């Protein structure tokens, strides 16, 4: 298993990541505290898609004492957005609504340029504005959403990035990120830039409040170094809440843009979705007769995971689908057909909102 901000490979063992990264599992008690404040438990929390955290309890302690927090998350615009990226963003939107908090959203066109030898800066920058349409299409509140485009907004970020960079040694950066002698300097400096939005609220408003970062666990190494230096700069340590990876449609592995045939992009048309889902790996048997007799295995089925993560909100209906699958009452073709319909419906709506977002995108810019 390899899980870094730039590569996720092999079967991800989430228990092991909690131990190795030194994060905390999300307990029943913490879920109860969240629901005390939000009035309900979000699907992604009750299904344990968000499974780990750092200092979420501290953020709630402060919130209950009247100290707000800000949300921070982001996107590395290396290509089009896939529906795996939407998982933490959907949860972030829910937190924004329930807690009435601000969101800082970072588009890292710089990161995607320095980490890929082939990338051109003009392309990653262009993609950042394109990817922002997906964010806006999800319905984030305009008055509480501030998008940062690293290259365009570097003047706003640079002083804090320098304060951060000065306090992180090369040996810490190597130990955290595995940098080699061959790693370029842009890449080595970049983690200081990703730290900045944790602290930018103070610069903009004068308020010192913690940041809470919803993201998949691959981003955690960034927060380890940021948390170490935050108190030295007079800030709260940023808190995190980590989600699991939506798998790709193949055998194992996370959904990844580098494997386009097993990823559903938000810009895919219905025919493309149909083809990809139709070719998906499932937990089905070799023949219909065998499946009717022995049932299938939802645990290893990529199609089932899509219902679990995004496309079946009703817990009872999800349980029923699982039961039917295990007992041979439903066939892979049926699930693929249902899933295709749901994805196509979701994307058709999303794509309309995405187009509409072209006229409002400027209003979400941090420098509006």
Q: Which residues bind ligand TYM (CB under 6 A)?
A: 5, 72-76, 84-85, 87-88, 106, 108, 111, 194, 213, 215-216, 218-219, 243, 245-246, 254-255
212 vs 296, which CB is nearer to ligand TYM? 212
Parallel/antiparallel/unpaired status of strands 70-75 and 145-149? unpaired
User: Cβ of residue 348: shortest distance to ligand TYM, in angstroms?
Assistant: 22
User: Cβ of residue 130: shortest distance to ligand TYM, in angstroms?
Assistant: 13
User: Cβ of residue 305: shortest distance to ligand TYM, in angstroms?
Assistant: 10
Q: How far is CA 199 from CA 50, 219, 240, in A?
A: 24, 17, 14
57 near 29, Cβ under 8 Å?
no
Parallel/antiparallel/unpaired status of strands 70-75 and 24-25? unpaired
Name which of 287, 288, 278, 291 is nearest 336 in CA terms. 278
135 near 178, Cβ under 8 Å?
no
8 vs 332, which CB is nearer to ligand TYM? 8
247 vs 283, which CB is nearer to ligand TYM? 247
User: Cβ of residue 257: shortest distance to ligand TYM, in angstroms?
Assistant: 8
Minimal CB distance residue for ligand TYM: 76
**Using CA atoms, how far apart are residues 94 and 98, in angstroms rounded to an integer?**
6
User: Cβ of residue 167: shortest distance to ligand TYM, in angstroms?
Assistant: 19
CB proximity list for 35: less than 8 A, separation 6 or greater: 41
12 vs 60, which CB is nearer to ligand TYM? 12
User: Cβ of residue 111: shortest distance to ligand TYM, in angstroms?
Assistant: 5
137 vs 216, which CB is nearer to ligand TYM? 216
CA 342 and chain centroid, separation: 21
111 vs 163, which CB is nearer to ligand TYM? 111
**Using CA atoms, how far apart are residues 291 and 16, in angstroms rounded to an integer?**
34
Give the CA diameter of the chain. 67
């Amino acid at each position: 298993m390899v899980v870094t901000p730039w590569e996720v490979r092999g079967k991800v063992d989430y228990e092991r990541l909690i131990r190795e990264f030194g994060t905390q599992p999300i307990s029943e008690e913490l879920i109860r505290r969240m629901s005390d404040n939000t009035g309900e438990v979000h699907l992604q929390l009750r299904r344990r898609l968000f499974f780990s955290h750092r200092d979420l309890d501290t953020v709630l302690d402060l919130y209950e004492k009247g100290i707000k927090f800000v949300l921070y998350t982001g996107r590395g615009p290396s290509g089009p957005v896939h529906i795996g990226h939407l998982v933490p963003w959907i949860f972030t939107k829910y937190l924004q609504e329930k807690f009435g908090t601000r969101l800082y959203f970072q588009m890292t066109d710089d990161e995607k340029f320095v980490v890929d030898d082939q990338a051109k800066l003009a392309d990653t920058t262009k993609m950042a504005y394109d990817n922002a349409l997906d964010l806006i299409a999800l319905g984030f509140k305009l008055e509480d959403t501030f998008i940062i485009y690293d290259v365009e907004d570097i003047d706003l970020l640079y002083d804090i990035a320098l304060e951060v960079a000065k306090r992180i040694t090369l040996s810490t950066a190597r130990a955290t990120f595995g940098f080699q002698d061959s790693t370029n300097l842009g890449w080595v400096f970049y983690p200081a830039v990703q730290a900045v939005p944790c602290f930018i609220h103070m610069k903009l408003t004068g308020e010192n409040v913690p940041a809470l970062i919803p993201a998949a666990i691959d981003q955690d190494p960034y927060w380890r170094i940021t948390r170490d230096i935050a108190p030295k700069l007079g800030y709260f340590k940023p808190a995190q809440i980590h989600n699991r990876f939506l798998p790709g449609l193949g055998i194992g592995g996370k959904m990844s843009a580098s494997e386009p045939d097993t990823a559903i992009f938000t810009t895919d048309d219905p025919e493309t979705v149909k083809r990809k889902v139709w070719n998906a790996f499932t937990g089905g048997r070799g023949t219909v007769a065998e499946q009717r007799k022995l049932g299938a295995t939802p645990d290893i089925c990529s199609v089932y995971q899509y219902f679990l993560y995004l496309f079946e909100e009703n817990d009872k209906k999800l349980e029923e689908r699982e039961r039917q699958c295990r007992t041979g009452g439903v066939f892979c073709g049926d699930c693929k057909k249902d899933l295709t319909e749901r994805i196509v419906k979701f994307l058709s709506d999303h794509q309309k909102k995405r187009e509409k977002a072209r006229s409002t995108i400027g209003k979400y810019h941090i420098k509006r």
